[in-house]
Amino acid sequence: MILKKEFIHIFRDTITLALVLAMPIALVLLFGFTISTDIRNAKISVLDQSKDTQSKTLVNQLSASGYFQVVSYPHNELEIDNDFKNKGIKLAIIIPPSFEGNLSKEGSATLQVINDVSDLNVASILNNYVRAVVQNYTADYNDNSSRGSAFDITVKMLYNPESNSVYMFVPGIITLIMVLVTALLSSITLAREKETGTMRMLLITPVKKIHIIVGKVIPYMIISFISTIAILIISVTVFKMPINGSLLMLLFLCIIFMLTAASFGMLISSISRTQVDAMMITMMGLFLPTVLLSGFLFPLNSMPMVFQVLANIFPAKWFILAIKDVMIKGSGFFDIWLYLLILFVMAVVFIIFSLSRLDKRN
Amino acid sequence: MRTILILIKKEFLQVFRNPLLLSILVVAPLVEFMIFPFCADYEIKVLNIAFIDNDRSQISKDIIHSFNSSDIFVSKGLLDNKEEADEMMKHDKIDLLVEIPSNFEDRLYNNEHTQIAVTANAINSVKAGIGTGYVQEIIGGYMQDFAALHTPANMQGLMSSSSMSMMQRKGDRKQMPAMPSTLIRPNTAAKVNISNIYWYNEQMNYKNLIVPGILVILVTLIGCYVTALNLVREKEIGTIEQVNVTPIRKWQFLLGKMIPFWLLGMAEFGAGLIIMKFIFGISVQGSIPLLLGITAIYLFVMLGLGFFISSVSENQLQSMFIVLFLFIVFVLLSGVFTPTEGMPGWAHHINYLNPMSFYIEVIKKIILKGSAFESVMTETIVLSVMAVIINTGAVLSYREASK
């Protein structure tokens, strides 16, 4: 009954339905293409004090890498400062005098890399690129001058051989969108009944409270599930995310997570009186924590201990761990059962709590 | 004027009557502002590493030992076999695995080719890149020191280079084994060291960027969200009809609704600046009145946007989803969390319509670099134009809707 009523509500408001279904898809497409910590063609300056064959080779390798674009060749540090301020360079490299000579005679030379650390994140990403290019350069140099040592180091990138940053961001974006859409929808629906006063009417009917809640949430879970499937299809076809685990496992995981998100939404609506309240709590309580504390953008184990502990109470962290395992590592049920259990227990706790709040109202 | 004042009073009454909303609007953003900058740190500080030592020689032990001197690596110990390592990597217990082959030491002394295998969990490609880079540096540094010890001519070069190198810590050289000099020495590979110099933020305070960024997000949330729901709510519960039959002009009504939230946003921003100074130690380098002035304009853009959405949508659910969509787009494209440098060209074009990205630019320039009005003039003009357009649009569409 309640289920039917809710479906009628939903289908009567076609604009909202269209928004709810189209929005996640638009967001995933937009961010799959834009959110990345890869930087291409960063502008740099090179102050080459030796101007010999080796220094020129190095500069060529820097621009050939695709990471950098050498926009100016300053003559002193003052000009470098000027480049930072007016030419928008992100990094400057100083090659010392007699670079080639030092390399061949002493076996080592030192580059100076000047970073603009007013944006530390960009600086540290670019530094890693410089390091990689210089490492390649050194390896080439050693090969050509046959100074190569007897040993070398092979590097294997497990699970993501091409070091594709999509592997990191797409699961995060899926999570962010799923949690927001599901939690928002379900938190609003109860708050709306409260605000317009129809909640009282529902409560005096002989329908059980649990049925009201379940009946109200299921339709929105179905809508979220449809958009989740759409998001998954986009991730696989457009962003080439693999699904190495079983598809059933993945869908099951998504359903459990939606249940958790929806019950979190119920919890919010049970403590709020109006839709504005419900929405603000969802935004404050879910958006920033999901972005910041889920390990989606920022490495969790670099955070102060308090936040590593705090992160555990947000469902998003567990879902991201599980979805990455299933999609990328191909983990099965026995690898992720703990995450599933945690998400499920969270859902149960949220539902019990919101039921008890509903009781108190009467 | 009196009409507007009365409307403002009404709006404030509504906010203060709802203690829950008040606490969400005032307390929650400030608390989050105090907490979240501590989390937003891209720097990889911990890398869990494990080793498989098939050689169990002095050199292999020393190589493994040399990882102890680095702060970033947390050793998960020596593993027996590859299966154990795979299992640990699958469960995210380790990020990196270093495998030293058998007969490593013998082959090294006999100048035969041998290789160390490094495996990284590359789901987080940035982390894997940094991790393998550090591993190569540490092992490479060790090998160079080792080789140099057997090549007296190279001692000089080593001394000067290792004092410059970032990753090569002082401890490395102490742990070098005293090898009998009669052994055959391996060839020396040339090495290019990188010495990093940091400009414009000598303390390397990553919070400098993220703190103002989170402040902007919170101010936007208040500005745009509450207003977007405010008007449509009156529509939904029918009180808007009552307002429409009073002699209040449309723009007066909108202004009366905007000013309270504008004041709230400004107060929040002020409180945010104080928190920024006393908790995060970031003081505004440029002029504070200028900063407040531009913030005032920015808030009008956001409030106007909220009202525009509010007047075109039929119910709160609709306007909420539109705002949510715009909000996520604004935040993630503005470059607060991820560098805009990496985005494709069309994303930069979208950003020309994103008020938040202009505002973030202003904030960065005034708060961090102490820029004067001339360097933020473009942004100020753009924001002002946006404010005029969006507010005109809001009044017009509201007039249309209430006909």
Domains of chain A: 2-35+165-360 (no CATH), 42-144 (3.40.1710.10)
CA B209 to chain centre: 7
Quickly tell me which residue has 């640990």 as its tokens: B88
Asked whether residue B140 falls in the same domain as residue B234, the answer is no
CB under 8 Å to B267, separation ≥6 — which residues?
none
Burial label for A255, CB within 10 Å (0-12, 13-18, 19+), is: middle
Q: Which residues of B touch A111 (CB under 8 A)?
A: 192-195
Nearest to A54 by CA among B163, B192, B187, B166: B192
From the CA of A289, how many Å to the nearest CA of chain B? 8
From the CA of B312, how many Å to the nearest CA of chain A? 12
Residue B375 lies in a domain: yes
CB under 8 Å to B129, separation ≥6 — which residues?
A128, A132, A163
Sign of CA dihedral A252, A257, A258, A260: positive
Asked whether residue B263 falls in the same domain as residue B127, the answer is no
Look up residue B323 and give its two tokens: 């705002």
From the CA of B137, how many Å to the nearest CA of chain A? 9
Task: Starting at the earlier edge strand, list the strands of the sheet with B191-199.
Answer: A68-72, A42-48, A91-95, A108-116, B191-199
Residue B35 lies in a domain: yes
Residues in chain B: 403
- Cα–Cα separations (whole angstroms), residue A169 to A36, A176, A178, A293: 7, 10, 14, 14
Look up residue A233 and give its two tokens: 């299809």
Beta strands B191-199 and A151-158: pairing type?
unpaired
Q: Which residues of B touch A145 (CB under 8 A)?
A: 190
Asked whether residue B97 falls in the same domain as residue B215, the answer is no
Tally of domains within chain B: 2
d(CA A325, CA B19): 43
Residue B190 lies in a domain: no
Cβ neighbours of B322 (radius 10 Å): 21
**CB nearest A279 (choices: B38, B320, B343):** B320
Asked whether residue B251 falls in the same domain as residue B394, the answer is yes
Question: Which residues span the domain enclosing B162?
Answer: 47-174
- For chain B, what is the mean pLDDT? 78
* Local structure of residue A96 (DSSP, 8 states): P
* Low pLDDT (below 50) residues in chain B: 152-187
Residue B310 lies in a domain: yes
* Low pLDDT (below 50) residues in chain A: 148, 362
ipTM summary value:
0.71
Asked whether residue B11 falls in the same domain as residue B85, the answer is no
Residue A84 to residue B318, Cβ atoms within 8 A: no
d(CA A193, CA A197): 6
Asked whether residue B235 falls in the same domain as residue B310, the answer is yes
Quickly tell me which residue has 């909640």 as its tokens: A199
Residues in chain A: 362
Which CATH number is B92's domain given? 3.40.1710.10
Q: What is the pLDDT of residue B381?
A: 93
d(CA A168, CA A296): 7
Asked whether residue B287 falls in the same domain as residue B169, the answer is no
Residue of A nearest to B315 (CA): A16
Tell which of A29, A30, A34, A82 to mutate to test the B interface (max B CBs under 10 Å).
A34
Between A and B, how many CB-CB pairs are < 8 A? 359
Look up residue B278 and give its two tokens: 């006393």
d(CA A264, CA A277): 14
Residue B180 lies in a domain: no
CB A327 within 8 A of CB A245: yes
d(CA B76, CA B70): 14
Residue B29 lies in a domain: yes
Backbone φ, ψ for residue B117 (5° rounding): -105, 130
Residue B344 to residue A34, Cβ atoms within 8 A: yes
Residue of B nearest to A23 (CA): B325
Final residue of a structural domain among B174, B198, B233: B174
Task: Starting at the earlier edge strand, list the strands of the sheet with B96-100.
Answer: A151-158, B114-121, B96-100, B47-53, B73-79
B314 close to A (CB below 8 A)? yes
CB A291 within 8 A of CB A297: yes
Residue of B nearest to A309 (CA): B39
CB under 8 Å to B303, separation ≥6 — which residues?
B223, B224, B227, B258, B261, B262, B265
Angle at the Cα of B400 from the Cα atoms of B396 and B403, rounded to 5 degrees: 140
CB B204 within 8 A of CB B198: yes
CB B152 within 8 A of CB B185: no
* Local structure of residue A98 (DSSP, 8 states): T
CB B280 within 8 A of CB B200: no
Three-class HEC string of chain B: CHHHHHHHHHHHHHHHHCHHHHHHHHHHHHHHHHHHHHCCCCCCCCEEEEEEECCCCHHHHHHHHHHHHCCCEEEEEEECCHHHHHHHHHCCCCCEEEEECCCHHHHHHCCCCEEEEEEEECCCHHHHHHHHHHHHHHHHHHHHHHHHHCCHHHHHHHHHHHHHCCCCCCHHHHCCCCCCCCCCCCCCCCEEEEEEEEECCCCCCCHHHHHHHHHHHHHHHHHHHHHHHHHHHHHHHCHHHHHHHCCCCHHHHHHHHHHHHHHHHHHHHHHHHHHHHHCCCCCCCCCHHHHHHHHHHHHHHHHHHHHHHHHHCCCHHHHHHHHHHHHHHHHHHCCCCCCHHHCCHHHHHHHCCCHHHHHHHHHHHHHHHCCCHHHHHHHHHHHHHHHHHHHHHHHHHHHHHCC
User: Between residues 246 and 275 of chain A, which touch chain B (CB distance below 8 Å)?
Assistant: 271-275
Residue A329 to residue B90, Cβ atoms within 8 A: yes
Q: Which residues of B touch A157 (CB under 8 A)?
A: 120, 122, 125, 128, 132
> What is the C-alpha end-to-end distance of chain A, expressed in Å?
22
Q: What is the CA radius of gyration of chain B?
A: 30
Q: Which residues of B touch A137 (CB under 8 A)?
A: 192
CB B226 within 8 A of CB B306: yes
Q: What is the pLDDT of residue B130?
A: 77
Residue B287 lies in a domain: yes
**CB nearest B36 (choices: A158, A292, A325):** A292
Asked whether residue B304 falls in the same domain as residue B347, the answer is yes
Asked whether residue B342 falls in the same domain as residue B371, the answer is yes
CA A331 to chain centre: 20
Look up residue B123 and give its two tokens: 């789901």
pTM attached to this predicted model? 0.74
Final residue of a structural domain among B123, B157, B174: B174
pLDDT in tens, B87-112: 888 888 888 999 888 888 888 787 77
CB B356 within 8 A of CB B220: yes
Asked whether residue B307 falls in the same domain as residue B270, the answer is yes
Q: What is the pLDDT of residue B326?
A: 87
**Which contiguous run of DSSP H or E holds residue A197?**
none
d(CA A277, CA B230): 11
User: Between residues 24 and 63 of chain A, which touch chain B (CB distance below 8 Å)?
Assistant: 26-27, 30-31, 33-40, 42, 58
**CB nearest B342 (choices: A36, A138, A158):** A36
d(CA B310, CA B230): 7
A125 close to B (CB below 8 A)? yes
Asked whether residue B364 falls in the same domain as residue B327, the answer is yes
C-alpha neighbours within 13 Å on the C-beta side of residue A76: 1
Asked whether residue B27 falls in the same domain as residue B153, the answer is no
Quickly tell me which residue has 């289920």 as its tokens: A3
Residue B226 lies in a domain: yes
Helix A275-282 with A247-271: angle, nearest 10 deg: 130
* Local structure of residue A284 (DSSP, 8 states): I
